[in-house]
């Protein structure tokens, strides 16, 4: 389903399925590769023909030696590839010497340290907040190409009143195109109930894909 490229190294295709669902489909995968030579970019992408289940995303995690897994990005059907900036730890000579003494041979040097890249298929509602938090953490570093939702400038906060006004405005602009003059009261337009249902479906879909679009200064009022 997935493949990984670390610039300057062969393409990684030896993916390992970590779990299996009752239907036989795995949802968690892993790649293992050496920590050295040092790298700062990881390219993760869908193999041709890969399509995630509806309302899911592929969360990407990395685990360096002697550390926990950390979320670094995500893929979705709309974003099937990503170039992710990473900052692997640099081992010191003292750490290499200690490792060599522990293993009793030169084989215990930094060359044996392994990185694990985990990919987990999860609900988009679970992954999207992690992407938003990650963008906030990495904005000072120039950002990453891990957009599950569109990257936007971080806002200090937005009031409930403003959000409500924008939701109402979004609905009004959408429904206005369905309004007709067929009303018993002159000057009043009629909007079919189905139009409102269509707006809500479209609005809910956009919130799922881009939870922060209403917080931007110039949201697309037409939805």
On whether the CB atoms of residues 114 and 65 are closer than 8 A, the answer is yes
- 170 and 135 fall within a common domain: no
Handedness of CA 162, 154, 62, 145 (dihedral sign): positive
Domain holding 32, by residue range, is: 2-141
- 120 and 172 fall within a common domain: no
Using H for helix, E for strand and C for coil, what is the string for 165-186? Answer: HHHHHHHHHHHHCCCECCCCCC
- 84 and 171 fall within a common domain: no
Assigned domain for 223 exists: no
Q: How many domains does the chain have?
A: 2
pLDDT of residue 24: 67
Question: Mind listing the pLDDT tens digit of every residue in the chain (223 residues)?
Answer: 899 999 999 999 899 998 866 666 889 999 999 999 999 999 999 998 999 999 999 999 999 998 999 999 999 999 999 999 999 987 655 555 555 555 554 444 456 799 999 999 999 999 999 998 988 876 645 544 444 543 333 334 555 556 655 666 666 666 666 665 555 555 555 666 677 677 767 776 776 677 666 666 555 544 4
Helix-helix angle 193-209:124-138, to 10 degrees: 50
Assigned domain for 11 exists: yes
Among the candidates 86, 107, 141, a domain finishes at 141
> pTM of the prediction?
0.57
- 94 and 10 fall within a common domain: yes
Assigned domain for 118 exists: yes
């Amino acid at each position: 389903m997935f493949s990984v490229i670390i610039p300057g190294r062969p393409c990684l295709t030896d993916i390992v399925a970590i779990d299996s669902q009752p239907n036989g489909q795995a949802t968690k995968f892993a790649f293992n590769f050496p920590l050295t030579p040092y790298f700062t970019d990881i390219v993760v992408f869908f193999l041709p023909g890969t399509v995630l289940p509806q309302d899911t995303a592929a969360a990407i995690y990395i685990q360096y030696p002697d550390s926990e897994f950390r979320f670094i990005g995500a893929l979705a059907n709309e974003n099937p590839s990503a170039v992710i900036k990473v900052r692997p730890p640099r081992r010191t000579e003292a750490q290499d010497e200690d490792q060599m003494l522990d293993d009793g041979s030169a084989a215990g040097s930094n060359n044996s340290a392994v990185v694990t890249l985990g990919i987990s298929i999860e609900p988009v509602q679970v992954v999207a907040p992690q992407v938003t938090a990650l963008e906030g953490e990495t904005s000072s570093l120039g950002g990453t190409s891990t957009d599950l939702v569109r990257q936007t400038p971080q806002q200090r906060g937005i009031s409930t009143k403003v959000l409500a006004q924008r939701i109402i405005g979004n609905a009004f602009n959408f429904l206005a195109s369905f309004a007709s003059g067929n009303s018993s009261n002159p000057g009043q337009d009629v909007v079919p109930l189905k139009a409102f249902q269509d707006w809500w479906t479209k609005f809910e879909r956009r919130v799922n894909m881009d939870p922060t679009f209403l917080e931007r200064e110039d949201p697309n009022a037409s939805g």
